[in-house]
Amino acid sequence: EAGVTQSPTHLIKTRGQQATLRCSPISGHTSVYWYQQALGLGLQFLLWYDEGEERNRGNFPPRFSGRQFPNYSSELNVNALELEDSALYLCASSFYYVDLNYGYTFGSGTRLTVV
Amino acid sequence: QQQVKQSPQSLIVQKGGISIINCAYENTAFDYFPWYQQFPGKGPALLIAIRPDVSEKKEGRFTISFNKSAKQFSLHIMDSQPGDSATYFCAASITSYDKVIFGPGTSLSVIP
Least confident range of A38-42, B8-12, B93-97 = B93-97
User: What are the chain A neighbours of B104 within 8 Å (beta carbons)?
Assistant: 40-42
| Closest to B93 in 3D by CA, of A64, A21, A100, A51 | A100
CA distance A65 to A47: 8
Asked if the C-beta of B58 comes within 8 angstroms of chain A's C-beta atoms, the answer is no
Name every residue whose Cβ is closer than 8 Å to that of residue A58 and which is 6 or more positions away in sequence. Answer: A44, A45, A46, A47, B99
Among A98, A101, A108, A110, the residue to mutate for chain B (most B Cβ within 10 A): A98
Beta carbons within 8 Å of B15's beta carbon, 6+ residues apart: B80, B81, B82, B110, B111, B112
List chain A pLDDT tens, one digit each, 115 residues: 679 999 999 999 999 999 999 999 999 899 999 999 998 778 999 999 999 999 999 999 999 999 999 999 999 999 999 999 999 999 999 987 777 777 899 999 999 999 9
* Separation CA A60–CA B18 (nearest Å): 38
Determine the Cα–Cα distance for residues B94 and B27; give it in Å rounded to an integer: 8
Distance CA A91, CA A85 (A): 16
Query: Residue B53: what residue type?
Result: D
